[in-house]
Structure 1
Amino acid sequence: MATFKFYNIQLLPMDRKKDSEVGVTGYCQLFKSVEKQLEGLREEKQKLSSISAKLIGDMFFSTFSASTYSYPAEGGKQYLIHGYFLKFDDVNTLVDTESGKVSYTSSGNNSSRRFQFEYVFDPNLHILAIQDTRGLPTRNALIRSLNEVLGYHAIKLFPNHSLEIIELTSAESIRDFFLVPKKGYKAYKGEVTFSNSDDFDFDAEDELRELAGELESELKINGVRRWETEYRSFKDSLMNDLPKNAKAQLILAAKFGNAEVSYKDEHNELKKYKMEDYPVKERLQESGTAQGIKSRALDIKNLITLANRKAKKALKAIRVNRNIFNKDE
């Protein structure tokens, strides 16, 4: 049973007065460019490592395939991209352990370690599902690698847009964090990248939801790429509560950013909640019968829809305890 993690991939206009969002067509172009690059590489018999991101331990990370599929849906034809990423080493020579003499020389594109990760990208939600299996790089290394591998194409196609990649976080972790009894807060640190225009659609009517929407809208209007916030208590003291701006940022960060909070629990022990420790994960229910690639890709695409809903439940998750919002009113 395959498990997937999810990443929000955005191409954001740096000047919204001059440039619009790339839309579904633009995101499809991004992966079409990846596919074309791979085809050219194979025709010229070049090494895959030449277009890869470098990882620690002499390993590389690269796209290995990218195929676009269309499917009928309400409102018209929709698209998805299915493919594989690779993590691998690039072996040039093998040396005899005893003598130190070269026992094998590679003609190119040979690996002694190779890991394959299936992925599906939904250009409508601009969310990438990638298989979470043995060998997958850690969160930060994976985001850096995706930025490097996809960034080449993003700059070439959309020089006036910024590529931003963020891991989706489980809203349930935010709920659980707020339900833990606390003596107070030591520090809060968070960041949010402004979203595409139709992305902020958290379904709830609440003062905090309103504030989150206003702040997110302000980021876009003023051309802000990233909103970073930090709050700290006085030395040897605790904050009674988190400011509303921090709570609003938590709502947005589940899908568009990251946050961490240091606090003391009811036993006066210092604890830390790190949003990045709680990524959204979904399991694919494997079919017992033979399944085509397109059908499998559609099943994974359905996981993307589910993961997106989970990330957007941040407000409702926090609202489990209404006192969270009433302390500073």
Structure 2
Amino acid sequence: MASFIVYNIQLLPANTKNTKEVGVEGYKKLFEGLHDKTIQAFKNKKLTDISYILASDTYFAPRSTICDDVIAYGEWIKYHKSDSVEDLYSNTTLFQAAKGTFPVANRVSFDYVFDYESHRMAISESGGRLPRPSVCNEALEEIFSKFALEIFPKHVLKINLVSDPTELESVLRNAEGFKAVNTTLTFPNGHRLGRQLQELKDKNVHHLKVEATTESKDSAMPSLPDFLKEMVEASVHYGKTSLSYILEAGGRLHRYTTSKYPLKIQVRAQKNEQPAQIRLRILQALRQLGGAAEGEGDDI
């Protein structure tokens, strides 16, 4: 069974008064831009120019992108650049790269599917070798930001992990009190918010961050204010949240972070199933996720 992590990619109008949302054609254009940048990087043998550095000589980068009328799909890769290989015990050189080549080791591929309509991307974990969700989020934002504003100079790029709402729902239902709340929300395309949040979105607020804490160690918020609760619930799909809470008066402090609970799409390959059929099932799963506070990861 293959497991896919879901990310939400958004191009938001910098000024909602004079700039429209990019729509399906805009997101297709974004991934056509990714395709062009990848082809150019491979042609010039400069993939590192569009790669994200994970660690010393270890990179994350796009490998291929194919854009059809409904989805974009292809591969991301993680690779380690190594010009030479030595024997551990003798320190003798076993391999030395020739000049002008780009030798890599430990290359891992990650299939992905991006839906233009929901602007969500499902990317394979490849047996847990995908960078951890928060790091992968940073990598995607850095890679896309290198060319997104060239294509859409009047828009703002935001990418966030889509979290499984199950654990958050449990915390909100069972907590007796909250000591600290830290939530960040990126106002989404095409999603109606509550009156107060919608007003902020309409006034060109793209990114909202709220921190709420109790000053005394002996006190706690018995529940979240409606405004903050709406933000926290929406952050499952459009942001991130961390909570410190207690389950009983005077009890120990518990912590919750959305990044620890990524929403996953589990795909069971069927006998003689073609890759296009698998991509179609992933597409259907992405669209079934719905809006804020809807949807869970399912086996498909």
Tell me the TM-score normalised to structure 1 length: 0.82
- State the Cα distance separating 1:222 from its structure 2 match: 1.2
| Alignment equivalent of 2:119, drawn from 121, 126, 136 | 126
- Residue 209 of structure 2 corresponds to residue 231 of structure 1: no
Matched-pair identity in %:
28
Contact 2:184/2:207, CA 8 A, preserved across alignment = yes
- Residue 30 of structure 2 corresponds to residue 48 of structure 1: no
> d(CA) in 1 for partners of 2:146 and 2:175?
47
| Map of 2:246 onto structure 1 | 264
Contact 1:4/1:283, CA 8 A, preserved across alignment = yes
Change (3 A) 1:310 1:193: closer
> d(CA) in 1 for partners of 2:42 and 2:178?
55
| Map of 2:130 onto structure 1 | 136
| Alignment equivalent of 1:92, drawn from 83, 101, 105 | 83
| Alignment equivalent of 2:73, drawn from 37, 62, 82 | 82
Which one is further off, 32-41 or 99-108? Answer: 99-108
- Residue 184 of structure 2 corresponds to residue 191 of structure 1: yes
| Map of 1:252 onto structure 2 | 234
SS state of the match for residue 112, structure 1? strand
Provide Cα deviations, 1:202-226, integer angstroms capped at 9, x if missing partner: xxxxxxxxxx521331122111121
Structure 1: unaligned runs, 5 residues or longer: 71-78, 201-211, 315-329
Provide Cα deviations, 1:58-107, integer angstroms capped at 9, x if missing partner: 2100010100123xxxxxxxx10110100011122223445545442224
- Paired residues for 1:259-298 under 5 Å: 259-266=241-248, 268-291=251-274, 293-298=275-280
- State the Cα distance separating 1:270 from its structure 2 match: 1.0
- Residue 20 of structure 2 corresponds to residue 3 of structure 1: no
Provide Cα deviations, 1:108-134, integer angstroms capped at 9, x if missing partner: 232221111110000111000011233
SS state of the match for residue 118, structure 1? strand
Contact 1:171/1:310, CA 8 A, preserved across alignment = no
Which one is further off, 119-128 or 85-94? Answer: 85-94
Q: Which amino acid aligns with 2:185?
A: V
| Map of 2:59 onto structure 1 | 60
- State the Cα distance separating 1:50 from its structure 2 match: 3.1
Provide Cα deviations, 1:218-272, integer angstroms capped at 9, x if missing partner: 1221111211111111312222222111111122111111112212222611111
Tell me the TM-score normalised to structure 2 length: 0.90
Contact 1:171/1:311, CA 8 A, preserved across alignment = no
> d(CA) in 2 for partners of 1:122 and 1:153?
19
Change (3 A) 1:110 1:224: same
Provide Cα deviations, 1:263-295, integer angstroms capped at 9, x if missing partner: 22226111112222222112112111141x322
Which one is further off, 261-270 or 83-92? Answer: 261-270
> d(CA) in 2 for partners of 1:257 and 1:122?
19
| Map of 1:113 onto structure 2 | 106
Structural RMSD (CA): 1.9
Contact 1:280/1:310, CA 8 A, preserved across alignment = no
Change (3 A) 1:255 1:232: same
| Map of 1:38 onto structure 2 | 38
Would you say how many aligned residue pairs link Structure 1 and Structure 2? 290
Provide Cα deviations, 1:148-183, integer angstroms capped at 9, x if missing partner: 11111202111221110111122222221123252x
> d(CA) in 2 for partners of 1:158 and 1:310?
25
Change (3 A) 1:20 1:63: same
Contact 2:175/2:245, CA 8 A, preserved across alignment = no
